[in-house]
């Protein structure tokens, strides 16, 4: 697998607001610490090491669909992977 190929590990499922908040709080606590940490994506765990400063994007979108409009919000953090971080495994998607 070359560095020019995009690799994604993605999860999509339905969770309660409480469960989502718990995931976000755990991520925020880990992000506040320096160094690497594990993030759970579906049934998989991936180790990441974000730097002290990274690009942050928030997107709110309304997308027309049959029977209504789907609203979504996405939080995205971007940084250049360092030599200390392992490459991601082959692309995977997980759904509940």
- Model pLDDT, residue 23: 93
**C-alpha span between 50 and 35 (Å, rounded):** 7
Distance CA 55, CA 44 (A): 25
Provide the greatest CA pair distance for the chain.
Answer: 47
Position 21 scores a pLDDT of 97
Single pTM value for the model = 0.81
Share of the chain above pLDDT 70, in %: 89
Q: How much is the mean pLDDT over the chain?
A: 88
What residue spans define the domains of the chain? 9-95
76: left (phi over 0), alpha (psi -120 to 50) or beta: beta
């Amino acid at each position: 697998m070359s560095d020019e190929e995009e690799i994604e590990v993605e999860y999509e499922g339905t969770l309660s607001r409480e469960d989502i908040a718990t995931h976000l709080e755990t991520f925020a606590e880990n992000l506040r610490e320096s160094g690497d940490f594990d993030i759970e994506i579906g049934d998989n765990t991936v180790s990441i090491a974000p730097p002290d400063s990274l690009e942050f994007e928030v997107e709110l979108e309304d997308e027309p669909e049959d029977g209504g409009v789907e609203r979504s919000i996405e939080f995205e953090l971007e940084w250049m992977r360092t030599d200390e971080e392992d490459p991601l495994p082959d692309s995977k998607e997980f759904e509940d």
